[in-house]
């Protein structure tokens, strides 16, 4: 039985993981722009950055900094362990509600 | 860590909302500018058809060139600088572009074989053809907004052409208002709603 993940359960980090997981495509190579996440989740740069650092140090996401047309851009990617950890966490929440999804591979 | 059933239910609801909004924001943010580009082209060109039919051919030529330049540019921007980057999203963007191009090339070739066709019919035909493409893309990308918009403009164009309340000489103005303004207004709404 899946158990709740304390690191992911924090409300802001849970929303970050949900947004990243929802945008993850078939290839598992999806990168999401930092400013998109910040605006979508209505966070400040500092707040989002701090939570991303925690997720990154746990190995749940990877952060890539690059330049596009000489402007710095940061991309965030959900890692494979991050996908599994988030899916486990959602499964655990569903278990509490009493809704079980037997098809483990289905999108949460 | 204790989570009650009530809290868990609220969490699932919130996660679902975050996920749905994230996908919608990406999709609508990309689609919005396309609607604005082609809405503006339609408003100007169909209005020219009514007020200055002599120059309407030129207006359509320039309008289509500008529309396609804008479409290509925005496709390129979406692929290179969009908020979500992946091999799959880049491939999808090019597939959508190729789909629209294929539909239009097919229509142009078919009209070239069937001509001469009265201008009014060509206008209605292309409006409904574009909207057919919208409905297909909306179904493909699970964007209800595009399906509804495509069906609504198709119905408006058909009602204007077949119905008794729009005299045929006003059909171009009708298409400018329903098709052109419909696209333009929807595009502006999407850009502001999901920015």
At B30-63, the pLDDT tens digits run 888 889 999 999 999 999 999 998 999 899 999 9
B15: nearest CB among A14, A30, A40 = A14
Q: Cβ A93–B26 below 8 Å, yes or no?
A: no
B19: nearest CB among A22, A69, A97 = A22
At A74-108, the pLDDT tens digits run 999 999 999 999 999 999 999 998 876 654 444 54
Q: What three-state secondary structure class fits B84?
A: strand
Angstrom distance (rounded) from CA A45 to CA A43: 7
Tell me: ipTM over 0.85: no
Question: How many domains are contained in chain B?
Answer: 1
Please give the full DSSP string across A28-80, using - where no structure is assigned.
Answer: S--EEEHHHHHHHTT--HHHHHHHHHHHHHTTSEEEEEEEETTEEEEEEEE-H
Angstrom distance (rounded) from CA B195 to CA B191: 6
- Alpha-carbon distance B35 to nearest alpha carbon in chain A (angstroms): 22
A19: nearest CB among B12, B19, B81 = B19
Q: Cβ B18–A22 below 8 Å, yes or no?
A: yes
Residues spanned by the domain of B112: 5-193
Confidence category of residue A51, pLDDT binned at 50, 70, 90 = very high
Q: What is the pTM of this model?
A: 0.79
Q: For residue B25, what pLDDT is reported?
A: 84
| Tokens (6 digits) for B163 | 């119905």
Q: CA neighbours within 13 Å on the CB side: how many for A98?
A: 3
């Amino acid at each position: 039985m899946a158990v709740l993940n304390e690191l992911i359960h924090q409300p802001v980090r849970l929303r970050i993981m949900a947004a990243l997981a929802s945008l993850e495509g078939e290839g598992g190579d999806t990168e999401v722009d930092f400013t998109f996440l910040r605006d979508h989740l209505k966070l400040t740069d500092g707040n989002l950055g701090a939570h991303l650092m925690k997720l990154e140090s746990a190995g749940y996401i990877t952060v890539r900094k690059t330049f596009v047309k000489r402007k710095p851009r940061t991309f965030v990617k959900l890692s494979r362990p991050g996908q599994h950890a988030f899916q486990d966490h959602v499964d655990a929440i569903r278990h509490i509600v009493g809704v079980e999804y037997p098809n483990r591979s289905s999108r949460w | 860590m204790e989570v009650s059933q009530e809290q868990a239910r609220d969490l699932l609801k919130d996660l679902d909302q975050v996920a749905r909004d994230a996908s919608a924001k990406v999709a609508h943010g990309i689609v919005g500018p396309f609607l604005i580009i082609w809405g503006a082209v339609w408003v100007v060109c169909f209005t020219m058809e009514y007020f200055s039919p002599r120059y309407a051919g030129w207006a359509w030529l320039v309008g289509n060139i500008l529309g396609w330049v804008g479409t290509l540019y925005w496709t390129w921007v979406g692929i290179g600088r969009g908020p979500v980057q992946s091999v799959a999203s880049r491939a999808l963007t090019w597939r959508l572009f190729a789909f629209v191009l294929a539909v239009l090339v097919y229509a142009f070739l078919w009209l070239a074989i069937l001509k001469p066709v009265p201008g009014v019919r060509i206008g209605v035909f292309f409006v409904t053809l574009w909207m057919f493409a919208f409905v297909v893309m909306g179904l493909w990308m699970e964007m209800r907004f595009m399906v509804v918009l495509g069906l609504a403009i198709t119905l408006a164009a058909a009602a204007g052409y077949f119905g008794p309340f729009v005299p045929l000489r006003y059909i171009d103005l009708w298409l400018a208002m329903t098709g052109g303004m419909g696209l333009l207004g929807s595009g502006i709404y999407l850009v502001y709603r999901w920015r």
